[in-house]
């Protein structure tokens, strides 16, 4: 078992190895055990029994017991890696999936919906919810016909998005596209529909959200455009807990008692190297392991809660700060009786204010909890941060003023209020990640890429499903499989797609540096900040309540489906050169050189293997008739 550092415990290392297998493309991180040349087996792969022994003797520390951390731990356990230790800072598992009791009801303060249901593919979270019998309700996002115009722009946006190159170099914000179509929302009505369409989904305004990477959304394309609200006394977290009980020991009451799960362990420092890692916590405990998997939020990674030693390389830090940690706040209010309309097409109602995002989206719980007399209002981004910093009595006063402007002065006063504070919580620093302008798969791969024995996971590492529970679940499995491959092969390679497919770059990770190379000149890639164009604004329907004089809303009269309606699946881009091969028939010389280098690869030193990387990079990503290609390939072959 994994033990504290003062017990001087190191798991036995396996000395076997498998033949090296190159991944397609030119951008790789090579993580290889420090072994003497010739230590690897020369005549084939590790035997199955040896592989099992390697899995059994490997130790892994997982930081964080949210969905991605638990998902990763189960995947490792299923593969035979039983010597795991999960360190969780809080006193519970689930991470940003959390329920609490408010007015004698279980309400979800974090993740609340299973998004993407009844499509061609099965959403794994929906499948888990069905197996557990989780109580869910389909959310009816219907509002008035003013949404129609917004959906037309949305549809035009997805068509435009598909014309953009995969490199992301021509990506624009959603707001910029609206300007191109001369549809920048400016009235209170236009602003609230715009908010409902984008901020309510991404927790950030259209001026900072990438068009190319969010329109259309793969979650709805892949899994279906239905969304289900979780309203179960056991809480949404019961999915995470049930997953954990599949590999952690429980007592007769079903409570997890496995010592491999340690709650209240706040990690303060991670020291990592090519041989393993040491994790320190704020109670002065230290733990050593072969691998460490960090599953904390990107908001925490952007903070100073955890110190990395050595400091994370520049390429990793740059990628982490390119991404946004959005804030999504659901405020709950309890009333002595119901005064709002309910029934078909009336689950949600919107407040159209001159102040964009001011207590904008309201939802009642009459379908989920009849007679509960609870309203939930959602705020995001800067309004979330502002509200988190004020006392709850002030928030209640502001919310009541909005409700009275919608329903009249005779409505009852709220008897209770609950305001979650995800942004202020140092263990989360926000709600979920959002895909901002200027970020593409290059940053995703860089965020996810391991450094020696230090691995990363979380919803922010999911290229297509970031921000969603299923994204966290799938990311945990993916990262665990990376570690499993590292254990099996003695090293791990991860492909980093180029920021610009026309660039000739290679990312290299070694003991001393991690840089980006272009024609042998080292430089660091930086990004320009997002360009902010236009102002937000946004459409009154009968579910939309206006605070402007003369505006009146009398109740819904039927409407199209809401803006969460799904679009077409994102087209799959080609993966480029397979295995570093050259497709041109004209450049036979380069083909021969690459083939010879690949053939000689077996038994090479680490530096020689790196030269093969460069050969394949030049061959795959340079024009085959370019004289520089042959010159560069030939120069690096001479170095082998």
Q: How many beta carbons lie within 10 A of that of residue 627, not counting itself?
A: 9
SS3 category, 494: strand
Strands (DSSP E) along 208-337, which ranges? 226-230, 261-263, 267-273, 276-281, 286-289, 291-294, 307-309, 324-326, 328-334
Triad 356, 430, 395: Cα angle to 5°: 50
Alpha-helical segments (H) within 206-354: 218-223, 238-244, 298-301, 314-322
* Full 3-state SS string of 386-440: HHHCCCHHHHHHHHHHHHHHHHCCCCCCCCEEECCCCCCCCCCCCCEEECECCCC
CB atoms closer than 10 angstroms to residue 397: 14
Dist CA 338 CA 330 (whole Å): 19
Contact yes or no for 621/504 (Cβ under 8 A)? yes
Q: Is 68 annotated as a binding residue?
A: yes
267 is in an annotated binding site: yes
* Whether 382 is catalytic: no
Taking a C-beta distance cutoff of 8 angstroms, is the pair 206, 175 a contact?
yes
Determine the Cα–Cα distance for residues 125 and 103; give it in Å rounded to an integer: 28
CA–CA–CA angle 498, 500, 506 (5° rounding): 35
Neighbours of 326 (CB within 10 A): 25
Cis peptide before 310 (omega within 30 of 0): yes
- Longest Cα separation, the chain: 86
Pairing label, strands 226-230, 113-117: antiparallel
- Given the residues 15, 41, 108, 115, select the one marked as catalytic: 115
Cis peptide before 216 (omega within 30 of 0): yes
Q: What are phi and psi of 219, to 5 degrees?
A: -55, -50
Which residues have C-beta within 8 Å of that of residue 511, sequence separation ≥ 6?
A: 274
Distance CA 498, CA 27 (A): 7
Distance of alpha carbon 452 from alpha carbon 483, whole angstroms: 11
Closest to 403 (Cα-Cα) out of 382, 380, 384, 377: 377
Q: Which residues pair with 518 in a beta bridge?
A: 521
User: Residue 468 to residues 96, 397, 587: CA-CA distances in angstroms?
Assistant: 11, 32, 46
Binding residues: 68, 88-89, 267
Active site residues: 115
Indicate the annotated binding residues for FAD: 68, 88-89, 267
């Amino acid at each position: 078992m994994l033990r504290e550092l003062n017990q001087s415990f190191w798991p036995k290392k396996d000395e076997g190895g498998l033949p090296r297998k190159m991944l397609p493309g030119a951008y790789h991180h090579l993580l290889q055990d420090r072994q003497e040349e010739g230590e690897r087996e020369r005549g084939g792969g590790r035997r199955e029994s040896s592989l099992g022994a390697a899995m059994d003797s490997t130790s892994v520390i997982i930081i964080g017991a949210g969905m991605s951390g638990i998902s990763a731990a189960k995947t490792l356990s299923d593969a035979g890696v039983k010597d795991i230790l999960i360190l969780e800072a809080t006193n519970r598992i689930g991470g940003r999936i959390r329920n609490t009791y408010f007015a004698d009801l279980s309400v979800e303060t974090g993740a609340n919906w299973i998004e993407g249901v009844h499509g061609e593919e099965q959403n794994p979270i929906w499948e888990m919810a069905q197996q557990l019998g989780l109580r869910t309700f389909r959310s009816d996002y219907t509002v008035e016909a003013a949404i129609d115009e917004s959906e037309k722009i949305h549809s035009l946006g997805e068509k435009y998005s598909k014309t953009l190159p995969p490199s992301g170099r021509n990506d624009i914000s959603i707001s910029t596209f609206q300007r191109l179509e001369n549809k920048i929302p400016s009235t209170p009505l236009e602003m609230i529909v715009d908010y409902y369409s984008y901020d309510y989904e991404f927790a950030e305004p259209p001026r900072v959200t990438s068009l190319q990477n969010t329109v259309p959304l793969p979650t709805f394309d892949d899994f279906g455009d239905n969304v289900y609200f979780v309203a179960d006394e056991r809480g949404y977290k019961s999915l995470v807990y049930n997953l954990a009980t599949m590999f952690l020991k429980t007592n007769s009451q079903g409570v997890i008692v496995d010592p491999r799960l340690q709650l209240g362990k706040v990690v303060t420092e991670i020291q990592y190297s090519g041989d393993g890692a040491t994790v320190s916590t704020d109670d002065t405990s230290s733990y050593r392991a072969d691998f460490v998997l960090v599953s904390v939020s990107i908001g925490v990674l952007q903070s100073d809660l955890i110190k990395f030693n050595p400091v994370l390389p520049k390429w990793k830090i740059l990628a982490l700060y390119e991404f946004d940690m959005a804030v999504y706040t659901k405020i709950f209010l309890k009333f002595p009786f119901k005064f709002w309309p309910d029934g078909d097409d009336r689950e949600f109602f919107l407040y159209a204010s001159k102040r964009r995002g001011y207590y904008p989206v309201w939802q009642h719980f009459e379908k989920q909890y009849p007679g509960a007399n609870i309203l939930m209002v959602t705020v995001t981004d800067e309004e979330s941060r502002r509200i988190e910093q004020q006392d709850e009595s002030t928030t209640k006063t502001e919310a009541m003023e909005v409700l009275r402007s919608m329903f009249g002065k005779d409505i009852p006063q709220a008897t209770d209020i609950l305001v979650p504070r995800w942004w202020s919580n140092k263990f989360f620093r926000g709600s979920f990640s959002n895909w901002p302008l200027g970020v593409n798969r290059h940053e995703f791969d860089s965020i996810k890429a391991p450094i020696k024995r230090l691995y990363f996971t979380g919803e922010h590492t999911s290229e297509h499903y970031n921000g969603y529970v299923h994204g966290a679940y799938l990311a945990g499995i993916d990262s665990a499989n990376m570690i499993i491959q590292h254990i099996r092969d003695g090293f791990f390679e991860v492909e980093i797609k180029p920021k610009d497919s026309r660039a000739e770059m290679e990312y290299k990770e070694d003991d001393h540096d991690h840089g980006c190379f272009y024609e042998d000149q080292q430089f660091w890639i930086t990004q320009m900040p997002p360009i902010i164009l236009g102002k937000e604004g946004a459409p009154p329907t009968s579910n939309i309540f206006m605070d402007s004089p003369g505006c009146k809303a009398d109740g819904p009269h039927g409407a199209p489906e809401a803006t969460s309606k799904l679009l077409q699946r994102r087209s799959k881009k080609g993966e480029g050169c397979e295995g570093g091969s050259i497709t041109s028939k004209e450049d036979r010389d380069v083909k021969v050189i690459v083939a010879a280098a690949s053939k000689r690869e077996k038994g090479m030193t680490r530096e020689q293997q790196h030269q093969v990387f460069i050969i394949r990079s030049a061959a795959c990503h340079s024009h085959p008739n370019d004289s520089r290609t042959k010159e560069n390939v030939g120069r690096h072959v001479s170095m082998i």
